[in-house]
């Protein structure tokens, strides 16, 4: 009986863990994107990080591919965790988040997903067309790593190069 309870408990924990993982990449059309961005900027400022904004939607197959690819790669996940505060901004027929799109420099012109890097003050410092991070029918790890490394606080700090 004890083994059955342990197996059941493990099964529940794995399910919760999977659901938690899946929820990290679920776009919420009802979310206040500007409030989420402002909160992320505040956190990034305190932690000495940049904000990584991923614009897309639950309808976007490439958004899901990118999420799966980056979450399954430990090196990319660590790089993201160490250097960025992440925000998902929904763009869909339910909510195109016009205020956030304007604030972010209208990144939707590049398709989806599109990534916007903000500094710790909320200034847009880079908009990345995700197509340039692909190779064949998927993401290219080297391209993704170069992109992410190239926009860390350390990478853009002139003192790094003295």
How much of the chain, in percent, has pLDDT values that exceed 90? 83
pLDDT range class, residue 67, cuts 50, 70, 90: very high
**Number of Cβ within a 10 Å radius of residue 33:** 26
d(CA 27, CA 10): 28
Fold of 27-155: Glutaredoxin (3.40.30)
Q: Omega before 113 cis (within 30°)? A: yes
Q: Which pLDDT belongs to residue 39?
A: 98
Give mean pLDDT, residues 71-100.
97
**Number of Cβ within a 10 Å radius of residue 38:** 15
Q: Which pLDDT belongs to residue 16?
A: 45
Domain-by-domain residue ranges, the chain? 27-155
Closest listed residue to residue 104, CA positions, set 89, 92, 83, 93 = 89
């Amino acid at each position: 009986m004890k083994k059955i309870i342990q197996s059941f408990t493990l099964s529940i924990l794995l399910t919760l863990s999977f659901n938690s993982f899946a929820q990290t990449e679920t776009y919420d059309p009802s979310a206040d994107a500007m409030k989420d961005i402002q909160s992320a900027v505040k956190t990034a400022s305190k932690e000495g990080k940049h904000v990584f904004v991923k614009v897309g939607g639950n309808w976007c197959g490439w958004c899901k591919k990118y999420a799966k690819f980056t979450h399954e790669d430990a090196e990319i996940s660590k790089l993201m965790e160490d250097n960025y505060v992440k925000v998902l901004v929904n763009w869909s027929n339910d909510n195109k988040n016009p205020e956030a799109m304007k604030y972010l420099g209208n990144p939707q012109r590049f398709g989806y997903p599109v990534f916007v890097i903000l500094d710790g003050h909320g200034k847009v410092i880079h908009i990345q067309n995700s197509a340039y991070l692909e190779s064949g029918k998927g993401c290219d790890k080297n391209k993704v790593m170069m992109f992410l490394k190239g926009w860390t606080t350390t990478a853009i700090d002139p003192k790094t190069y003295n």
